[in-house]
Structure 1
Amino acid sequence: MALLEIRDLHVSFATRDGIVHAVDGVSLSVDRGRTLGVVGESGSGKSVTALTVMGLTRLPNATIEGHVLLDGVDLLALPGDELRRVRGKRVAMIFQDPLSSLHPLYKIGWQIEEAIRAHERVSEKAARARALEALTEVGIPSPGDRLSSYPHELSGGMRQRVMIAMALVLDPEILIADEPTTALDVTVQAQILDLMRALQAEHGTAVLLITHDLGVIAETADEVAVMYAGRVAELGALVGVLDAPEHPYTWGLLQSLPSADASRDQPLHPIEGTPPSLIAVPSGCPFHPRCPYVMAVCPREEPALLPTRPGHTVACHLPVPTRRRIGAAVRAPNARA
């Protein structure tokens, strides 16, 4: 049994403009010690899926259906007090913007200590020692001094390290990382990814990595889920999805990446059009208005997510031989550059 299983998850929000269908029938799983990368453009449902796992979409205007199983226990069925005991202790999250996620009026040490004492009955001295150990583990220089620092006194990379330390200080079974490197420069991004890999190897933590960057996926993930308009378009092992992609949306994502061996004047190939409104998702295949390979059936019928080879599923009406022929032509070493 997978450590985390998301089964047929639907999440929608009632707004003044209509119903936002943020997540529409998503099923994913993450095994212990493995990393599942979830990739897609803004508005594809990645972050809402992650926030729902954490129980952070339980809002008055939200409708949530499906199952989120942690070791067989449905988190969606837990009452609020039980879910709070799970959140942070067994499932932790690194949010996209550490500056807005850390409280600006409290020192770093207090915030990490508070996370510990919220779940464990330990003394203030013991919590502070654990906080110091956590900052040391994530490679923050002069960790004792940083305990007394406020978030605004740290660089973006240091704040992200603090978030990782706070997330891992209770040794959770699964870590959800929502765009953990978006606001960082390339050098710091590489350091953060190396740190996450090292800590995962040491602790055996399962990781659900949310990103729009296929380069990050290529460096960190074991499996990849490509999401579009709240649905999974393609799902499989990293090598299968990057080296033998079969969905037109995945092809577009790969072709839009710059290649290390391309000439400077070679243009990029962005995906035409824009992501759809989740209030008015196109009928049939939601990608059909932007797809260069659209067929007559695509606007009429939503494609099922079906296996195309062992461990690889795709939601597309194109015949499998056609998908494989086109995918072989567009597969990109770019994502590994």
Structure 2
Amino acid sequence: MTILIPAYEPDTRLLTLIEKIKAACNFKIVVVDDGSGEAYRGIFKAVQGYGCTVLTHETNQGKGRALKTGFQYVKETGKSEGVVCADSDGQHLPQDILKIAQRIEELKGYIVLGCRHFTGNVPLRSRFGNSVTRMVYTLATGHRIYDTQTGLRGYSSDMLDWLCEVPGERFEYEMNILLDADKEGYSFSQVDINTVYHENHSSHFRTFVDSAKVYIPLLKFSASSLVSGILDFSLLMIFQYLQLSLLLSVISARACSSAFNYSVNRSFVFAKGNQSYNSQNSLPKYFSLVLIIMALNYELIRFINLRLAIPVFYAKVLTEFILFLLSYVVQKTFVFKHKQWQSSIKRCVLLSSPTLRE
């Protein structure tokens, strides 16, 4: 097992962490100096003195690039064990790192996440930021991950090639891993860990720039559905203005918007690399979903409009809100899914084991 620690301008907490890990196990430790500079040479020499491997970037390239450098090194040195990634600021306890390592040995094809529950003296900003990211991630992917921003993660050795290819150079890289994992057929196992917070004035997370990079990939997942919804909504209003029946208006609007949505989802949202999905596989499933959603759309609008006496405009808004998540989750997990057969087996394992949560 390899412990991978990306570090930029670390302090003595990195040395304390390494001391405790060394006292608890004999895992190999790889530390990536992400361009910390001459002032921090002493820290990294001390790290080497503990028998750790230190990989050095001449300039700061970001956490994502530092992790990729570490993954590439583990891959090239022929290690067949898994990799546990931990932060250098002392917020991950050695016993929690060992819990992640143990789970990696038990599972293959799973990303193991150390999930904090933010109890105790944790700043409101940290609680709020994780809550928002968790909610948006769930809406975008249909998966429930309690701590999407955790830096304590474990990966089995078969993931190394993929981890080196996931886009992102800074903090957005770890979110991209969560977003791309399902397309690769990987599932998640979540392990409860302690919440350790230090008043860290040296944090290198750039609030606005890095937050934007974290959320932009999520918006990519949601943008297609949002634009399609706007198109569907606009066409419905136009057809109603032209005095078409409600049923014909709903059918016509949904037919146009769904054709647009399918094209964008197939070629952009769910595409793997530069390759879009085979339409022979996805097209029948997608338009079967369209028919189901269309029927629900009509019935819900009709119920809200006639039974609750709410105008069509507001009935449409409420209906789209209700059906948005259903539509997206089905597309993500059924219509546009890589390695569907393997993933189905993994989900069965998750359901049968009370210790694993997706």
Larger radius of gyration: 2
What is the TM-score normalised by the length of structure 2?
0.24
Q: Which has the higher helix share?
A: 2
Q: Which has the higher strand share?
A: 1
